[in-house]
Amino acid sequence: MRTDLNFFSPYQGIKKEKSDSKKYIYFASGVIGAIIIGSLIWNTVNIYKVQSEIDDYNTKLSDNTLKAKLKESGEITVKTASLNLYDQDFTELATAIKSREVIDIDLLNALSSTLPSEVCFTSIDVQKNKIKIIAEATRRSAIGELEHNLNSLKNVQNVYVSKIVETGVYSCEIECSLKDVE
């Protein structure tokens, strides 16, 4: 068996490898070129679309009826903002007043329910959590009954009859404090 030696075989493989690597380079270059051209076309089309939308909006904005509506909308927005500020301030004020409210309709109803039939209030003065009542009664014992009834109220404490004057009817001054009840 005889085998021939080919002295050129090492050079034949290099040439083949060079041609294979050139194919890969050309292919990669073609793919990158296609991506670049594709993105150029894509971006150009999108720029054209956006520019046409901008032109449409500019023509709509130049319309006089839209300008009038836009001006009216701006005025309404300013008015709404100022009304919202007023509403917020009034809400805070109402909340503050309500939290400071010492006398309410329930307390007034409770006070009037303590009145015996022989007693009538001449005046009621409320300062912070103190109540000063000036009343007239036909009997002295009715004043004591009023004092007892006021003591029995759940949000009244320290009832004190400071003065009783008899001038045909019995006039009295009653001072009491309110409890801090929510």
For residue 15, give the DSSP letter: H
Neighbours of 126 (CB within 10 A): 14
- Give the C-alpha separation, 122 to 28, whole Å: 106
Per-residue tens of pLDDT for the chain, all 182 residues:
567 776 666 665 555 556 677 888 889 999 999 999 999 999 999 999 999 999 998 888 888 888 888 889 999 999 999 889 888 888 887 776 666 566 677 777 888 888 888 888 888 887 777 889 899 999 889 989 989 888 888 888 888 988 888 888 899 999 998 876 54
Contact 111, 126 (CB under 8 A): no
**Bridge partner residues of 133 (DSSP):** 124, 174
- Give the C-alpha separation, 47 to 67, whole Å: 27
Residue with token string 């493989």: 13
Phi first, then psi, for residue 153 (nearest 5°) are -70, 145
The pTM assigned to this predicted structure is 0.45
